[in-house]
Amino acid sequence: MDIKIATRGSKLALWQANDFASLISKHIPGAAPLIVPVMTDGDRIQDRPLHEVEGKTLFIKEVENALLAGKANVAVHCVKDYHPETPPEFRIAAYLPRESDRDLLVTNTPVSSLDELPDGAVVGTTSQRRIFFLKKRRPDLQIKMLRGNIDSRLRKLNAGDYDAIVLAQAGINRLGIDPGHFVVLDDDTMLPAVGQGALVVEVCTSNPEMADLLKQFNDTPTQVCVEAERALVSGLSANCKSAVGANCRFTDTGKITLCGHVGHPGTLEEMSDIRTGNADQAIELGKAMAAGFIARGAARLLDE
């Protein structure tokens, strides 16, 4: 059985697709997984922040087109790049086990916290969420656009173009990269992006047999937490122009706690909320948090 896995062509995306292919080979007798790299507009456009173009879905549009055209029958995406609501022509067959959802502050010289960066330090990122948290904690910092894959970002840091850059820990861990000097940013410093560190396996709705075959790889704890986070961002109608952070984690009692944050990178106005509920009500929990934010006037923070 041929299982063609469409993916972006970046080193990290290929690692993720190949890791999933190895699971298929191990657990589905007779399966022949094949990686189908796809160049996306998000990879081509490197001279502008994503919020100035079409947003993070630039990284998945061509991959999904490959599914619709029959060039592949499976796709692997980072949830951080995925739709807040799955389009009707697609379905999520599995949520793969989540890596770290944390951000790293990677620096040229050793520091123990964001507060130890020198006055006026140049920090590289284009994420509106990261920009908000950086400016809120350190208004003196100079934020400079940073695009490209992990390797190119680290090269720019090492070349002295930046004093520090912010990267997702998940990608560093998956590729086994030693970034040198870094600090893991806790929730009080920088709340993660929705779905950060998690991957989804996507198939066409018209291919239920493939979805049924691949559901064995679903990681329920990851699904529960990510669905709560996605319900929050969907309820807010947020996109990559928005400074929205969230994480959902299981408690010791088996319930889930969802932390959410909405901020405005310009005015630095913000709203936060924490809610706890049952795991089987994850989506409802995210929707309720979004409704609470909207009732408190979050729309003015989300509109640029």
**What interhelical angle do 282-295 and 220-236 show, nearest 10?**
20
From the candidates 8, 56, 80, 91, give the one annotated as an active-site residue. Answer: 80
Active-site residue (options: 8, 130, 174, 230) = 130
Q: Are 285 and 227 in contact (CB under 8 A)?
A: no
Q: Which amino acid is at 221?
A: P
Contact between 20 and 214 under an 8 Å Cβ cutoff? The reply is no
Catalytic residue among 43, 81, 163, 273: 81
80 is an active site residue:
yes
Catalytic, out of 102, 129, 135, 174: 129
274 burial (CB, 10 Å; 0-12 / 13-18 / 19+) is exposed
Q: Is position 147 annotated as part of the catalytic site? A: yes
102 in active site = no
> What is the DSSP code (8-state) at residue 236?
H
Mind giving me the DSSP string for 22-67? HHHHHHSTT-EEEEEEE--HHHH--SS-GGGTT-GGGGTHHHHHHH
Cα 57 vs. chain centroid, distance in angstroms? 11
How far is the C-alpha of 90 from the C-alpha of 80, rounded, in Å? 17
Is 91 a catalytic site residue? no
Annotation says 156 is catalytic: no
Do the beta carbons of residue 236 and residue 294 sit within 8 Å? yes
Instruction: Tell me the three state secondary structure of residue 105.
Output: strand
Inter-axis angle of helices 11-27 and 150-158, nearest 10? 140
Is there a contact between 197 and 172 (Cβ–Cβ < 8 Å)?
Answer: no
Query: Amino acid identity, residue 14?
Result: L
| Active-site residue, selected from the candidate residues 240, 248, 259, 273 | 240
Catalytically annotated residue among 56, 98, 135, 153: 153
Decide: 8 and 38 in contact? Cβ < 8 Å.
yes
- Name the residue among 291, 273, 105 with its Cα closest to residue 182: 105
Catalytic residues: 80-81, 129-130, 147, 153, 240
